[in-house]
Amino acid sequence: MDVLEVLRRWDVQPSKGAGQNFLVDPVVLQKIVAAADLTSDDVVLEVGAGVGNLTERLALAAAHVVAVEMDRDLIPVLRSTLARFDNVTLVEGDILDLNPADLLGDFIPPLRYKVVANLPYYITSAILRHLLETTYKPCQMVLTMQWEVAKRIVARPGDMSLLAVSVQFYGQPQKLFRIKAGSFYPAPQVDSAVVRIDLYDTPPIPADDQADFFRVVKAGFSQRRKQLRNTLAAGLRMLPDEVETKLHAIGVDPQRRAQALTIDEWVKITEVLNP
């Protein structure tokens, strides 16, 4: 598919406000499909179908594709582009307002699904949070995002952030490959990366206690330059000495900083501060 020709024929211009940068490099598109390890049994939720050039490739590899696009001007384009596929369901709407379980109701349970998305830079974190926190989670996500955001997501202890903890709590992220800005139309000002997240079957904390986990983590990251003893005490409205005693009890140095902790350590801290 010649994306530029499709846009010209339908008299559609990419929306800067909606963060539209269409991926036009066929080699990169095929690498994204390959990264998802799709089989004829897989159901795919595609977020941001654009003009359908990735959707076509997904439809050829998977059992069914549910393609979500919020730009109403692109819906007629997609209907035309995807008319030859009987295994594609097109949905007009904002993924942040949609429940994946409702979108995939014809296919689940027990069938698991995968997410493939070219994420708008300005709402990457919101979409990640929405998909990771939904009741019926995907088993895998292959996401195109800003290079710097990808680096933050796959960070290791010593350079962790709230975003890294929020993603790695649910699954194992891998930064697969870089995409140069020139592979998009219009070209963004920065390079992108493809990140694959393989979600755990069971998160390290039961669903009923996850709100407590993230409350503790947010408190810890509220003042990155300060020691855990002080950030947790301030964020959780506890006495610093009490926090210090409990951290010592689980073998965590209260003078460490939030970016140095592992997910397992955050789990232990949550358990001791929320008995």
Q: List, as one string, the DSSP characters of the chain.
A: --HHHHHHHTT----TTTT--EE--HHHHHHHHHHTT--TT-EEEEE--TTSHHHHHHHHHSSEEEEEE--GGGHHHHHHHTTT-SSEEEEES-GGGS-HHHHTTTTTTT--EEEEEE--GGGHHHHHHHHHHSSS--SEEEEEEEHHHHHHHT--TTS--HHHHHHHTTEEEEEEEEE-GGGEES--SS-EEEEEEEE-SS-SS-GGGHHHHHHHHHHHTTTTTS-HHHHHHHHHT--HHHHHHHHHHTT--TTS-GGG--HHHHHHHHHHH--
Under the banding of pLDDT at 50, 70 and 90, the label for residue 120 is confident
- Of the ranges 43-52, 100-109, 134-143, which one carries the lowest mean pLDDT score? 100-109
- For domain 207-273, give its CATH number from 1.10.8.100, 3.40.640.10, 3.40.190.10, 3.10.180.10: 1.10.8.100
The answer to which of 74-78, 195-199, 204-208 has the lowest mean pLDDT is 204-208
Average pLDDT for the chain: 94
Q: What does the pLDDT look like over 75-102, one tens digit per residue?
A: 999 999 999 999 999 999 999 999 999 9
CA distance 267 to 275: 12
Q: What are the tokens at 142?
A: 């292959």
pLDDT at 28 over 80: yes
- 3-state SS class at 83: coil
Where do the CATH 1.10.8.100 domains begin and end in the chain? Answer: 207-273
Mean pLDDT of 28-55: 96
Q: In the CATH hierarchy, which top-level class contains the domain 3-199?
A: alpha beta
**pTM of the predicted model as reported, rounded to 2 decimal places:** 0.94
Phi and psi at residue 264, in whole multiples of 5°? -60, -40
CB 74 within 8 A of CB 50: yes
Report which residue type is found at 92. E
**Token pair in block for residue 101:** 């379980």
- Of 12-16, 21-25, 156-160, 231-235, the one with minimum mean pLDDT is 12-16
Please determine, for residue 110, whether its predicted confidence score (pLDDT) is greater than 60: no
pLDDT in tens, 248-275: 999 999 999 999 999 999 999 999 997 5
Name the amino acid, one letter, at 172. Q
Of 250, 253, 248, 258, the closest CA to residue 226 belongs to 258
- Kindly indicate the confidence band of residue 74, based on its pLDDT and cuts at 50, 70 and 90: very high
Residue 16 has pLDDT above 90, yes or no: no
Q: How high is the pLDDT of residue 224?
A: 80
The whole-number pLDDT of residue 109 equals: 64
Q: What is the pLDDT of residue 275?
A: 58
For residue 64, what are the CA distances in angstroms to 21, 44, 158? 25, 6, 41
Structure confidence at residue 23 (pLDDT): 95
Parts of the chain belonging to CATH 3.40.50.150: 3-199
